[in-house]
Structure 1
Amino acid sequence: MDLVKGCLPLCSWLQNPVVLQHISFVFHPKWKLDELESAMRDLIAKKKDIQGELDHPQNRGKLRSNQLQLWLNKAGEMEDKVNQLLVDYSEGNCDAGSWFQNCYSRHKIGSEAFNLKEKITQLTAQQLEIRFTDIPPPKPVPESSKTVGKNIISNVDLACSYLADETVDIIGIWGMGGVGKSTLLKKIRHSLSGDANMGFKHVLFIQASKDIQMEELRKQIAKSLQLEPSAGKEDIFNVLKISNFVLLLDNIWEEVDLIDLGILHPYSDNNSTNQYKHKVIFTTRSEDVCTKMGAGEKIIKVECLEPDEAWDLFKHNVNLDVIESDEKFKEIAWQVMEKCGGLPLALKVVGKAMSNKKSVQDWEFILSSIKNSGTSEVQGVEESLFPILKFSYDNLPGNIQQCFLCASILGWLLMKDDLLLFWMGLGLIGDFVDLQEAYCNGENILKTLEESCLLSFDDDGCVSLHDVIYEMAVWIASGCGMNMNKWIVKKYDWSTVEIPSINAENWRSADRVILSGKMELLPILSHQCFDLLCLMIQSNSCLKNIPEGFFRQMPNLTYLNLEGTCIKELPKDIKCLVNLQYLNISSTNISSLPKELVYLKKLQYLICRYLEGLGKVDEDLMSRLQKLKVIDIFPSGWVDLEQLKKLKKHVKAIGMRVVSKEVLQQLSCLPTTWLYLYNLDIISLPFDTLSCKMHGFLQFLIIESCPRLEQIVMYGRKTHLNILIILNVEKLSNIIWRDLLPSDFFHVLKQLLISGCNLDNLAWVLHLPCLYQFQIKDCAKVETLFYIEEREIQQQEVSENRPTFPTLQILQLYNLPKLVSISNFALDFPRFPSLEVYQCLNLKKLPFKSDINNNQRMINIDCEREWWESLEWEDNTIPSHLWPNFGRDENPNECTTSGSE
């Protein structure tokens, strides 16, 4: 009886509804999940009804109420949380571990499901009034942008009329530098990308310059045709001779041999009976070049702007509110505009430079400076404007002025990222806590220069500089703070047969020497070059050794870049460079770092990227280089665990090979940039140990041959990753995302290569905003690359903010024997990428939408003839917009991303 009495309180406690609820969490979590899914289905149904009304034609063009938008956002959040909880339940093992752990896991899942269900039920029951407001009309377009460009429009129309004329084959556009020739050519190119493309299969826009070589022009054409970079004129000729094409050749300075480019000359006998249209349009500063190129009477001269158009363009670039606030401002602005001589480039550059000046005194000072700039001392129409353009340069902070001059004069050598690293090596960016801060500072400098119209970049990230701006930079450097006589800048012609001679005497007083191209021998220096601070000898496969004693003659050198040469070792006299702060020997034939580097006590940047066989770096070397900020020995080199601990004290960026779990753990405390994980004994890889740290700036990651790796876990923090390569990780079947969408996580990823893996689904790749190239190969089990549920397809169809593959230009599929479908729905390709398909014989359909017919651009497909002929088409008009190429080897063995070469 006493026992029964003792149990009564316990029975009463167990009958408490709250207690029973918690017990049910432990013993029946699946019931709670089923109830949660049922509530979620009700919410989704309501959301679909609302979405259907929002998408009704009569409601398009209207703004939804804030309350309605808030409800939709919450519904989306609830859906994500439910899906994540279901994933956690399916992936977690609630029956594993100790009894306590088991109970805790089941209770956690059950309680979260219960709480979510309560919130979802309340959200579903919420009464909503679907109200809209009309979108306010756009702000009036400034008058300047309405009227500027009348001459351009008429010239575009004239050029298009020439292109439509079957008797016209070559068209010349000429005018002074900065007058708008390139702008006109780009407008013509744009007009040919729409409905009025006149049936041209290829519209080739190629940029030349004063000293450009024929080989570089051929490379540009080959790239536009999706040919190999090494393609010669015969390869280009064979493609173009059976195509309608127009070549837009910008900024030539002398007659160009079209046949040497691989272009069938429009006037040749072979073309007289050709059924295809072959047209060439070029721009030049010289009317004589137009005549030599055979343009005949079909020449368009681009004139400077008339005063009214010049005024409109100037107002468009300056601060319009300031000008219109006072007649005095307007009077001064008009006089400044007149000094620009109607030259669009000057109007834009000077207008941008004045846009932040807000006092009459500032404007009067600017006008006085321009009037007293001494324009009469400079010869030539364009050159007479250098002092006026220089005002924009003078408006820059001191360190940005130096950055501009270096970028202008050396721009043809550097990509965007290389330019930032160059500035860092020269000390122009200043000190920084980590590489991310340095890049941010550099990006801000680039932004300032771009907003000032002094610098721009092409689609490939290379420096793109207007010739007039380049000439102005040389003029500034020569007479305004930098002695150009102390610069030796030479780009040797790759077609040169003879070894170019170098006058060693010129090195005596030089402070910067920049050499590129075909050069087999360096000069024998018999004298000290005390002024030499910067030496760049890049992209030279002919240079195989450095003369003994060469470095002994430059005791004050601080910057040395030998990237892309074929030197096999650094001479012992490298130890004489006791003031060296930057050393780059990337992509050379050097296989080990000489022990003499220990004498370089001031060395801050050691860049040894892509050195085959580098292996472990000498321990003594790392311990004695106490000034190192950046060490990049990716992908072959590494330092051991003890050295990593020492580097932790001062290094601000490190790239290397990871050889063990212990090294990987230590790297989690270091600012990593480029990492190569090879043959690590790990089952799961939490991504935050690589890049999501306080000072992490991981840009390039390779994961290869990790035999036990099953999953990669992405935690809720953005990365800076540009390139991701996953190779031969056969057990990898799952990528888990925590608290962040893949498109947000990989928000700057440009290249993705997956090979030898068995990932279940790659749908997370679809919306990556910056993805340029995607390659997947040797994945034996993959059947569908991109699979999403039906409800997601419907949501995607009504979403205008999440296009598939927004920037993709290259899609490569190699050796996927079980692949039957690229996706289970039709894909958008805004950029219409080139497609490469090899050894995917079970793939019978391509996921192009029927409205591909509305795009006038052909899509290149490299493939096997057998596969192409076996394809099935739901819309028989689609093949006419695809261009199959059967010329490439049908079993590519070396398919890599350009970033990993």
Structure 2
Amino acid sequence: MGNSFSVEFPSCDQPFMPFLCGKRKYIHNLEENLGALEKEMQDLNAMRNDLLKRVSKEEEIQGLEQVKEWVSMVEEIEPQANRLLDESVSEIQRLSQYCSLIPASTYRYSEKVLMILKRVKTLRTKGVFEVVIRRALPPLAIKMPPIQLTVSRQNLFERACNLLEDKNVGALGIYGRGGVGKTTLLTGIKNKFRLAAFGLVIFVVVGSEVVESIQEAISNRLGLQWGRETKEDKAAAILMALKGARFLLLLDDIQRGLDLEEIGVPFPSRENGCKIVVTTRSREACDESKWVDAKVEVTCLSPEEAWDLFQETVGDNTLRSHQDIPKLARVVANSCRGLPLALNLIGEAMSHKRTVREWRYTVHVLASSTAEFPDMENGALPILKSIYDNMTNENIRLCFLYCALFPENYDIRKEDLVNYWIGEGILAIEVRAEAENQGYKIIYDLVRMRLLMEVRHGYCVKMPGMVRELALWIASDFGRQIEHFVVVGGEGIHHMPMVNDTGLVRRMSVTSTQIQNISDSLRCSELTTFVCQRNRHLKWISGTFFRWMTGLVVLDLSFNRELAELPEEVSSLVLLRFLNLSWTFIKGLPHGLKELKSLIHLDLDYTSNLQEIDVIASLLNLQVLRLFHSVCMDLKLMEDIQRLKSLKALSLTVRGSSVLQRLLSIHGLASSIQRLHLSTETTIVDGGILSLNAMFSLRELDILGCNIPEIAIDWKSTIQSETVNLSDTEKIPQFQNIRTMTIHGCECLKDLTWLLLAPCLGDLSVSECPQMEEVISKEKAMAKLGHASEQPFQNLTKLVLDGLPKLESIYWTPLPFPVLEYLEIRCCPELRRLPFNSESTIGNQVQMKIEEQLIKVVEWEDDATKQRFSHFNNSDFPQMAEDPKMDGLTSESYPLQNIDQVWTTGSGKKAVQSGLHATSVTMECRTHRVLTPDGPISNMIDTPGKRKVKEMLFNFKDEARLIGISGMIGSGKTILAKELVRDEEVRGHFGNRVLFLTVSQSPNLEKLRALIWDFLIGHEAGFGATIPESIGHTRKLVVLDDVWTRESLDQLMFNIPGTTTLVVSQSKLADPRTTYDVELLHEHEATSLFCLSAFNQNSVPSGFSKSLVKQVVGECKGLPLSLKIIGASLKDRPEKYWESAVERLSRGKPVDETHESKVFAQIEATLEKLDPTSKECFLDMGAFPKGKKIPVDVLINMLVEIHDLEDATAFDVLVNLTNMNLLTLVKDPTYSYTTFYVLVSCSHFYSLNHS
């Protein structure tokens, strides 16, 4: 066959001529491509075989996921290539005749050969792996509760699993009477399949809750956040998030048929591979859910299986303790009627009963209870009642019933339960510490009896659904007075509960509802406990409502974040003993509060708007006072608190050295402090050491922006020894209590060696401490303890290290970290060793967020450690080229990487096309953190401008100052502002007191004002309060980015002496004399920036047309954003392509000279180079709010849904748009999604206006 050929077509074949001429190169190179394909496939197969040999060398290792995926792709492409090679003989013969009889089919064959050849070459390139295996995690990598299954239950479980594995079964219904073991089976299914191929497993306890509550539970698992969206809006967002994901949804205890479309859940199908499992007591609920494909009934156990389970639960020791007990135990087991729940709970309750009298009593109780309630619909409750009757004393019974006051599946904090019980007087012990101990002992007993389950590392408990049903039944006088306990909750509740006889209500709980106001419609004179918490829209409570509650002793209004005041009528609650107002927006305590002489517990934690609390001096019986992240302690407040002679537990916020020193000198106050927040401007002058000795009740320490060179404990003053071991900590009890430690912005602190003596520490977070060199110093440990052999952090579950530029060591040897669950390390450039080996964290599922740069340079203990831990770093997404000079150029409103608190408020407008919504600013975090630089930033943009603005900032007078930076979109004004707040001289001038906020087009001005006022004045003052004289002597800088109107600026400016406001805007909002106009780049600067984007160097490469570069740069008009976007679009393109781009840019030059049209023209030119699908996808992204961080999965699902793309294609589109600088890749470890895309400002405007 020759090197060329020609074809002569008869006239009838003329329609094929243009087709053939345009594609002849594929046919012309066919023989060459076939030869290359055959050779490449041989090499690829050899690589695959070598790789598999490397993976299988050891038995206890498993291949990395990327290796498995690569091998899978090779196995997928191999038969395709072989098929093409098998057909090659006939195709070559056809060409050898210099005429193709079927030109279209020949072309298609040639094109397939070329496509497969390219894919094979790509696979060969990607098939180089330095690490191909990692040691398999032990089976207990995910902790699971033990599941007890009898023989029949095991068969049932296997049947259910087999149905789920059937591709024709998308949804499975499990039904059976209450207590029969449905939830146990569902939990077993979750445990089995969460380790399988499902990307997402969601477990929701449904119960009587409405659609909105189910949506809320699913949204929490997905990381979606809501404002005031409708049920339909939420359904659209959930549907978008779940589409394209392979999920397993487990819905426990549905009580009626569910409409998946109403919730927003995609229907499971053979194609999407998703599965849904529901449990219900009613087969009718399965039948009403038309999407259920298969059903499984769970029945009671046979007598013999029931006896086997009961024996196993009671235990041989008890059964053998008396010869008559086995017979009586048989009777008890038969009374349980084959219900596994009853057998387990009653068996556990009887496992410590070793006298015949106790067993006979139980037999009697079971017989009488079932006889008393023979016709109950839920026959399990009379049987389970014997557990309640067998409780040892009245206190544990009352405490058990109290737990039913919370919604189903609710995590109840143990500390809250104990405080409620003490408040109600259930634990009526004069010494509070003894009452607390008794409360925790009762919780322990209820957990042991399986009536409560521990969750959240043991800090909370949860009541199983059937047990809660039992408690509510008993509390309502066995169903005769159902209004004794009124419990409502869930997103579907918009009004207070309707009660027929308000005089019957004894306890009421209203939790996590949409209620906005509480009127006087409920007149519950006998109510003793009212828990009304987490109702995020509750703003107002009627005074008359409280006037009728004269018997109230416990009132919990916590986490009602919009509640700003209490009515004066609260003074009528003369019996009130417990009041919780934490996490509310309360501004002041009503004067009538001083009448509450019985009050023993007042919780005001995280009430940052609280202005004054003078009434506290009148509450002489207070035992607990909590002011953590609330009103700052001053000498007047200290005097008031000293009057509280019964005070046992105190939480405080302290700002100022004199107040702290005075506080620590008063032994009675210092010894009662459980939680302490040291705020900014607190300096330790006495030897430079913060001593914790006096605070021996301390549980949580939070230090923010304080000048504290060292934190220490003088253990010699506590024990008579020259050395101390960690095993000796019972001699120094104060260290046993510390659970949480947070340190931020302490510039002098070098180590935290004292933590060796805090063995129970569970949560440690250290950030922005520029002098921190070691977490635990070996040298100091030797000097203080006389040895360095003890292992700290045995109870640590969370460790965060961020912004520690000098940190070199966490600990000098590897540590086991037996309970660690979360590790985050960022901005620690000198850290080279991590305290891990291959045995660290064994048995835990650890979520790790470690900077990729650290992963690259860390010196692992050995190869096994490297293989075990290095894979935790997220490398599944495309990495953007790092260029500090280009930092932030793609996004006007992109927050500073190293500012821990950048507040951004959005418009909250709906994202119409995607169903997603902007998230408004939250008030979770109350502290203002110090800014630190993330390394040298080359101020390529506007160096003269930076100097000019610095001159204006430093020209500081005693009155308030307003300075402006203005400029067109894409000119780099926000970048200039960011560089200024990172600048060492600027930070030094303002003493690191800098606040950066992004305002945007439709800001929440009220919340922004609160944040700024809090930053300028502090927690102890509200709007309009008298400004302390000392405030004027402190310089502070407030940077307001992206301000759109003068009206917004006027509301956000406070004329406080010593404060400078820097406003960044498109138009001039400040005095022109103090406003710097960001200039466009000059030709030399513009060329350098353009070349960085187009050529990865700051000049035109040798041999490339400088004339072409000059023409393109000229068309960009000096706009940094345009230069970067156009440069990226022309990267690696031939000069001919550049010539067409110049021509396109020239024709696209706008008629007018507005900055929007200039940038739009450049973006439009870039879009011309995109394929149609990518262009349409880009335009659809205008539906998202400006600056919105969009999870990768959400974007992919949207593109798959709207444009009918494959997942891989959608991902390729995102990578393409990112490479063109139309999207920015962002990683944020504080969210459940770790990777996001942000549409750059100008791109957002363009997509919004052209879609």
1:626 aligns with 2:626: no
Residue 190 (structure 2) aligns with: 189
The secondary structure found in structure 2 opposite 1:393 is helix
- Post-superposition shift, 1:583? 1.3
Whether the 8 Å contact between 1:399 and 1:429 is mirrored in structure 2 is yes
1:387 aligns with 2:400: no
Q: 2:307 aligns with which of 302, 306, 311?
A: 311
Partner deviation per Cα, 1:549-574 (whole Å, 9 max, x = no partner): 43222223222222122222222222
Measured in 1, the distance between the counterparts of 2:498 and 2:192 equals 50
AA matched with 1:731: C
The 1:575/1:380 distance shift into structure 2, 3 A limit, reads closer
Residue 779 (structure 1) aligns with: 804
Q: 1:726 aligns with which of 727, 743, 762?
A: 743
Residue 561 (structure 1) aligns with: 556
- Post-superposition shift, 1:451? 1.6
Residue 570 (structure 2) aligns with: 574
Residue 280 (structure 2) aligns with: 284
Residue 446 (structure 2) aligns with: 449
Measured in 2, the distance between the counterparts of 1:146 and 1:844 equals 42
1:523-542 counterparts in 2 under 5 A? 523-524=519-520, 529-542=524-537
1:253 aligns with 2:273: no
The 1:167/1:411 distance shift into structure 2, 3 A limit, reads closer
Residue 179 (structure 1) aligns with: 180
1:494 aligns with 2:491: yes
- Post-superposition shift, 1:185? 2.1
Partner deviation per Cα, 1:615-671 (whole Å, 9 max, x = no partner): 5632xx333211111111212224545526734631011111123221233266431
The 1:235/1:318 distance shift into structure 2, 3 A limit, reads same
Q: 2:693 aligns with which of 673, 685, 689?
A: 689
Q: Which moved more, 1:643-652 or 1:297-306?
A: 643-652
Whether the 8 Å contact between 1:179 and 1:302 is mirrored in structure 2 is yes
Residue 637 (structure 1) aligns with: 631
Measured in 2, the distance between the counterparts of 1:534 and 1:213 equals 25
1:6-155 counterparts in 2 under 5 A? 149-155=150-156
Partner deviation per Cα, 1:231-268 (whole Å, 9 max, x = no partner): 9556655554444432333332233344555543114x
- Post-superposition shift, 1:819? 5.5
Q: Which moved more, 1:305-314 or 1:817-826?
A: 817-826
AA matched with 1:453: R
Measured in 2, the distance between the counterparts of 1:868 and 1:768 equals 37
1:417-816 counterparts in 2 under 5 A? 417-431=415-429, 433-435=431-433, 437-459=434-456, 462-479=460-477, 483-491=481-489, 493-495=490-492, 500=495, 503=498, 506-516=501-511, 517-524=513-520, 529-565=524-560, 566-614=562-610, 617-618=613-614, 621-641=615-635, 642-643=638-639, 646-647=642-643, 649-659=645-655, 660=659, 661-666=661-666, 669-678=670-679, 679-682=681-684, 684-685=688-689, 688-689=692-693, 691=695, 693=696, 696=697, 698-713=698-713, 715=715, 716=729, 717=732, 718-737=735-754, 742=756, 745-750=758-763, 752-762=765-775, 768-782=793-807, 784=808, 786=810, 788=812, 792-793=813-814, 803-804=816-817, 806-816=818-828
Partner deviation per Cα, 1:699-750 (whole Å, 9 max, x = no partner): 322111112433444855433233221011011112233xxx73x7242514
Measured in 2, the distance between the counterparts of 1:176 and 1:459 equals 30
- Post-superposition shift, 1:347? 0.9
Task: Give me the identity figure in percent.
Answer: 26
Residue 866 (structure 1) aligns with: 879
The 1:278/1:584 distance shift into structure 2, 3 A limit, reads same
Whether the 8 Å contact between 2:171 and 2:293 is mirrored in structure 1 is no
Measured in 2, the distance between the counterparts of 1:249 and 1:766 equals 43
Whether the 8 Å contact between 2:424 and 2:528 is mirrored in structure 1 is no
AA matched with 2:746: V
The 1:321/1:302 distance shift into structure 2, 3 A limit, reads same
- Post-superposition shift, 1:401? 0.7
Whether the 8 Å contact between 2:585 and 2:610 is mirrored in structure 1 is no
Measured in 2, the distance between the counterparts of 1:147 and 1:264 equals 33
AA matched with 1:285: R
Measured in 2, the distance between the counterparts of 1:818 and 1:215 equals 49
AA matched with 1:540: N
AA matched with 1:589: F
Measured in 1, the distance between the counterparts of 2:291 and 2:476 equals 37
Q: Which moved more, 1:315-324 or 1:455-464?
A: 455-464
Whether the 8 Å contact between 1:828 and 1:849 is mirrored in structure 2 is no
Measured in 2, the distance between the counterparts of 1:825 and 1:282 equals 42
The 1:482/1:164 distance shift into structure 2, 3 A limit, reads closer
1:832 aligns with 2:845: yes
Point out the structure with max Rg over C-alpha. Answer: 2
Whether the 8 Å contact between 2:749 and 2:769 is mirrored in structure 1 is no
1:289-308 counterparts in 2 under 5 A? 289-294=285-290, 298-308=294-304
The 1:426/1:210 distance shift into structure 2, 3 A limit, reads same
AA matched with 1:725: T
With CA pairs under 8 Å and 6+ residues apart, which has the higher RCO, 1 or 2? 2
The secondary structure found in structure 2 opposite 1:373 is helix
AA matched with 1:625: L
Residue 901 (structure 2) aligns with: none
- Post-superposition shift, 1:438? 4.0
AA matched with 1:705: G
Measured in 2, the distance between the counterparts of 1:399 and 1:187 equals 35
- Post-superposition shift, 1:428? 1.9
The 1:828/1:238 distance shift into structure 2, 3 A limit, reads farther
Measured in 2, the distance between the counterparts of 1:894 and 1:339 equals 53
- Post-superposition shift, 1:444? 0.8
The 1:296/1:832 distance shift into structure 2, 3 A limit, reads closer
Q: Which runs of 5+ in 1 are unaligned?
A: 1-144, 794-801, 871-882
The 1:290/1:869 distance shift into structure 2, 3 A limit, reads farther
Measured in 1, the distance between the counterparts of 2:147 and 2:463 equals 27
Q: 1:212 aligns with which of 209, 214, 226?
A: 209
- Post-superposition shift, 1:455? 1.8
The 1:757/1:251 distance shift into structure 2, 3 A limit, reads farther
The secondary structure found in structure 2 opposite 1:449 is helix
Measured in 2, the distance between the counterparts of 1:845 and 1:157 equals 47
Measured in 2, the distance between the counterparts of 1:157 and 1:810 equals 34
AA matched with 2:745: N
AA matched with 1:337: A
AA matched with 1:610: Y
The 1:219/1:350 distance shift into structure 2, 3 A limit, reads same
Structure 2 length as normaliser, TM-score? 0.51
Partner deviation per Cα, 1:565-602 (whole Å, 9 max, x = no partner): 22222222222222221111111111222332221111
Measured in 1, the distance between the counterparts of 2:795 and 2:257 equals 39
The 1:730/1:826 distance shift into structure 2, 3 A limit, reads farther
AA matched with 2:823: L
Measured in 2, the distance between the counterparts of 1:477 and 1:309 equals 33
AA matched with 2:452: L
